[in-house]
Amino acid sequence: MDINYNADVIVVGAGPSGIAAAISVAKGAKKVVLIERSQYPGSKNMYGGAVYTSALRELLGQDIEKIKFERKITSHTYAFLNETGSFELTYQNNESNSAYTIKRFNLESQLIEIAKSYGVYYIPNTLVKSLVVENDRVIGIETELEKYYAPVTILADGVNSLLSQNLKLKQDYKPKDIILSAKETLKLDKQTIEKRFNLKDDLTQGVAKQYFGSDFKELKGYKNLFMMTFLYTFKDTIMLGVGANLDDLSKNKLNINEILDIIKTHPSIAPLIEGGERIEYSAHMIPEGGYKKMPKLYSNGVMVVGDAAGFINSVHFEGTNFALISGKIAGQCALEALANNNFSSNFLSLYRKKLEKSFILKDLYSYRNIIERLYSRSNSLNIYYPNKIKELFEIITGANCVSKSKQFREFFFKLFKDRNPIELFKDAIAFLRCALDVFFGK
Ligand SMILES: Cc1cc2nc3c(=O)[nH]c(=O)nc-3n(C[C@H](O)[C@H](O)[C@H](O)COP(=O)(O)OP(=O)(O)OC[C@H]3O[C@@H](n4cnc5c(N)ncnc54)[C@H](O)[C@@H]3O)c2cc1C
């Protein structure tokens, strides 16, 4: 078959995974076309707010210095929300250099500029409608206006990857495999953010907060609502968002934006965002299926990267690092395929082999059951323990003229009275199994 190729590699989607794939191919001095449906890079993309330097450095080397971030994240808080307050654990390290906040538009547009400087040919504002397949091999893509041909196509089209679905690499996700998330960008002046979060004024400090808990009076009566709330400080904005399982939302007939509105009034959150003017609202899906729902990652002439492949570890809020490194690895495999003039599925299985040696498939494998295990205990994590922690701290902090021994004894016996001991045992087993999964993971 004689094909007039326009490029060596076509990459569909200019999120972190697609840009990384394109950069990796361009670094090998091959011709790469990067096609993005949105007019401005990053304008259709969404996240909580932290990008990780180790993955960016692995992709860009010294060029990471060209990226202007907003704030370095030096403080991580994990919190349990109850109806009237919260229990928070904060880890602070002012020397940490591993994560920064940056808006997606700024991240993607700066990465695109770096990609162009390597020779990537970037085509924005262009929707890829379908793949061109001949003799069971992907040989290019079709946009609304024209067709582009290349021996390798990399699909970086995000969580809702219709292209890999059409190629039967990926099955349609079920609602329980998806987290639906809503987020607001709240504008506040820089000084207010620094004062409120106790940050230095030179952007070398920032805050990331993750909250568990759904026992709010407005949400009483809803069942198995496992939700995670996040808050990140940027230069002069705060990002506040929440994610919940799509299946739980639809069974409870709840909208994610209603939940976000409730969270904004919570006594531990409202003071942090007070006076913030909403300048942006977005909603996005997160693939939750993990290792078990991973699509076939390659076929003749094609590879799938980033969210399109379900590469995300939502327990640790990691996604951009999986996207960047899977893109980089796919780009390297494309270079090897070009060098060997072999674009078969058999040859491109190299991509999966390389992913297996990286943290990507190791972590996805180790965490393959964890979300399910946590969901199975969602009432414990979101309602029972946040309340028990509250009761425990009322004893520790409340000088209420009752003997401490009596109060601690009552607390301990109530643990078993309030809850069937079998449920407590199930919690302990589920958490232990999560720990063992990670400890004995790959
Ligand atoms: C609420 C939320 C919070 C998150 N928080 C974090 C966090 O703090 N840190 C972190 O590391 N990760 C986080 N993530 C995950 C992270 O955002 C993703 O893992 C990452 O964006 C995946 O990058 P990607 O390039 O694979 O996909 P995307 O960023 O989704 O990019 C896909 C691109 O493909 C384009 N596209 C799609 N279809 C077509 C088509 N047919 N033709 C042309 N272009 C197309 C889209 O416009 C888009 O630009 C979060 C995600 C969400 C939703």
Pocket of ligand 1 contains residue 41 by CB under 6 Å: no
Cα of 301 vs centre of ligand 1, distance in Å, is 23
Which residue's CA is minimally distant from atom 29 of ligand 1? 15
- Atom of ligand 1 at shortest range from CA of 163: 41
Q: 279, exposed or middle or buried, with CB in 10 Å at 0-12, 13-18, 19+?
A: exposed
Residue with the smallest CA separation from ligand 1 atom 50 is 47
Cα of 52 vs centre of ligand 1, distance in Å, is 15
Q: Which of 34, 45, 160, 318 to mutate to test the pocket of ligand 1 (most atoms within 8 A of CB)?
A: 45
The full set of domains in the chain, from first to last, is: 9-67+102-173+293-367 (3.50.50.60), 175-287 (3.30.9.90), 371-439 (no CATH)
Rounded (10°) angle between helices 404-418 and 421-439 = 90
Pairing of strands 121-123, 32-35: parallel
Which atom of ligand 1 is the closest one to the Cα of 179? 53
DSSP at 382: I
Which residue in the block uniquely carries the two structure tokens 């700024």? 106
Ligand 1 within 6 A of CB of 53: no
Stated pTM of the model: 0.95
Q: Is there an atom of ligand 1 within 6 Å of 330 CB?
A: no
pLDDT at 1: 62
Q: What does the DSSP assignment read for 102-138?
A: --HHHHHHHHHHHHHHHT-EEE-S--EEEEEEETTEE
Q: Percent helix, strand, coil in the chain (nearest 5)?
A: 45, 25, 35
Q: How far is the CA of 20 from the centre of ligand 1 (A)?
A: 13
Report the distance separating Cα 132 and Cα 241, nearest Å.
38
CA dihedral of 360, 362, 364, 370, whole degrees rounded to 10: -150
The residue whose C-alpha atom lies closest to atom 26 belonging to ligand 1 is 306
User: Ligand 1: which atom is nearest the Cα of residue 126?
Assistant: 43
237-279 pLDDT, tens digit each: 999 999 999 999 999 999 999 999 999 999 999 999 999 999 9
Instruction: Give the alpha-carbon dihedral of 60, 30, 167, 327, to 10 degrees.
Output: -10
Residue 42, pLDDT score: 86
| Alpha carbon 411 to chain centroid, angstroms | 38
Q: What is the pLDDT of residue 352?
A: 98
Three-class DSSP category at 410: helix
16 CA closest ligand 1 atom index: 25
Tell how strand 137-143 and strand 128-134 pair up: antiparallel
Cβ count within 10 A of residue 254? 17
- pLDDT 10s digit of each residue in the chain, 442 long? 678 999 999 999 999 999 999 999 999 999 999 999 999 888 888 899 899 999 999 999 999 999 999 999 999 999 999 889 999 999 999 999 999 999 999 999 999 999 999 999 999 999 999 999 999 999 999 999 999 999 999 999 999 999 999 999 988 888 989 999 999 999 999 999 999 999 999 999 999 999 998 888 888 878 778 889 999 999 999 999 999 999 999 999 999 999 999 999 999 999 999 999 999 999 999 998 889 999 999 999 999 999 999 999 988 999 999 999 999 999 999 999 999 999 999 999 999 999 999 999 999 999 999 988 988 888 888 888 988 999 999 999 998 899 999 999 999 999 888 888 899 999 999 999 999 999 988 8
Indicate which residue's Cα is closest to atom 21 of ligand 1: 320
Instruction: Tell whether ligand 1 has an atom less than 6 A from the beta carbon of residue 164.
Output: no
pLDDT digits (tens, 9 = 90+) for 203-240: 999 999 999 988 888 888 787 788 899 999 999 999 99
**Best mutation site among 37, 163, 230, 259 for ligand 1 pocket (most ligand atoms within 8 Å of CB):** 37
**410-426 residues labelled b (16+ CB within 10 A) or e (exposed):** eeeeeeeeeeeeeeeee
- 3-class DSSP state of 229: strand
